[in-house]
Amino acid sequence: MKGKYHICVQNSRIRYEFEIKRNITIIRGDSASGKTTLFSMIESYNRLGEDSGIEIVSKKECITVNNATWDLVLDKHNDSIVFIDEDSPVIKSQEFAEKIKNSGNYYVIITREDLPNLPYSVDEIYGIHNSGKYADTKRIYNEFYKLYSVSDDYDKKADIVIVEDSNAGYEFFKNICSSKVSVISAGGKTKIRELVSKYTDKDILVVADGAAFGSEINEMYLDMQKNQRTKMYLPESFEWIILRSGLIDGNRIATILDNPEDFIESSEYFSWEVYFNKLLVKETEGTYLQYSKSKLNSSYLNDKEKNRILNVIKIIIGIICD
């Protein structure tokens, strides 16, 4: 399954309207914010159809799963949008992660907890609020809003740059950063927060793959509110940065990057970062820019190539370079 889908769920009192475009979407929020109501309305429609008084407008079938039969339901459905409520502890299991990894469905998971077993994007974590539209009617209009907006206010020189990976991306940032900046590899997204906590007296920039950093962003976000000396830069991935630079078949690749949801098949790619890596490897195979995630090709450090990449990340250049 791929593509972007507009969904409307409504009855005479409540209307939800939103779009999803990745295989995993997370809905968070406190009690009484409307999360469970959305799930219950879809569940009622699945059981009763039009007799439920609920209308669902969607190009793909919307279904719900419960704890007892979740695996059986998923076996029977493909190319559907699956809603899962926070009362289902199965979402935290590795069994569930493996089950949906090669699934042709999209998943909308309602949860207040972080799910480290799933690679979801920081851009696909939402809350629900009353938008204030249609104020002259009796219907409550609800829509999704992004919960995490990473600041682009990079106003202080960084003392330390912490890079999520230890391979090509780390090598690139180590090369371009000022000699006054320490560049450290976290060796994985789960280790970033602990590493940041060791340098609370420093101005830190964290560079991580936003496409799969969703399970870490909540705690990091809270830490950043307490210590505003830490900033984050969360592109989809390092490979996405290179692709966005236009070094490889600019127009065609740009079309993909502008609407990746139209090209990324969920049953093949659990996370978008995997797709961008495979795309870059494929597009550069047999060329002087041949890419390997394990070790940076030195051609990317040539002035011309490096400057094209720097142009993509120019928002942070001022705080990490001389």
Note the pLDDT of residue 139. 63
Note the pLDDT of residue 135. 44
Q: What is the mean pLDDT of residues 28-37?
A: 76
Quick: pLDDT tens for 56-89.
Answer: 999 999 999 877 778 888 888 889 999 998 777 7
Quick: pLDDT tens for 242-265.
Answer: 999 999 987 889 999 999 999 999
Note the pLDDT of residue 192. 94
Quick: pLDDT tens for 137-155.
Answer: 466 778 888 888 776 777 7
24: confidence class by pLDDT, cuts 50, 70, 90: very high
Distances (CA, A) of 232 to 68, 81, 159, 217, 228: 40, 31, 14, 10, 11
Tell me the percentage of the chain whose pLDDT exceeds 90. 64
| ∠ Cα 165 170 172 (to 5°) | 145
Instruction: Decide: pTM greater than 0.85.
Output: yes
Which residues are 82's β-sheet partners? 63, 107
Strand boundaries in the chain, DSSP class E: 5-10, 14-20, 24-27, 55-57, 62-65, 81-84, 106-110, 125-130, 140-146, 160-163, 182-185, 204-207, 230-233
| ∠ Cα 275 151 91 (to 5°) | 50
Quick: pLDDT tens for 101-125.
Answer: 888 999 999 988 899 999 999 999 9
Quick: pLDDT tens for 294-303.
Answer: 999 999 999 9
Say whether pLDDT at 136 is over 60. Answer: no
Quick: pLDDT tens for 156-184.
Answer: 889 999 999 889 999 999 999 988 899 99
Say whether pLDDT at 314 is over 70. Answer: yes
Q: Which domains does the chain have, with CATH numbers?
A: 5-146 (3.40.50), 160-320 (no CATH)
Pairing of strands 125-130, 140-146: antiparallel
Which residues are 196's β-sheet partners? none
Query: What are the tokens at 167?
Result: 């391979």
Quick: pLDDT tens for 176-226.
Answer: 998 889 999 999 999 999 999 999 899 999 999 999 999 999 999 888 888
Note the pLDDT of residue 32. 60
Q: What is the mean pLDDT of residues 18-45?
A: 87
CB 136, CB 37: distance < 8 Å:
no
Q: How many CB atoms lie within 10 A of CB 151?
A: 10
Report the C-alpha gap between 257 and 47 in whole angstroms.
39
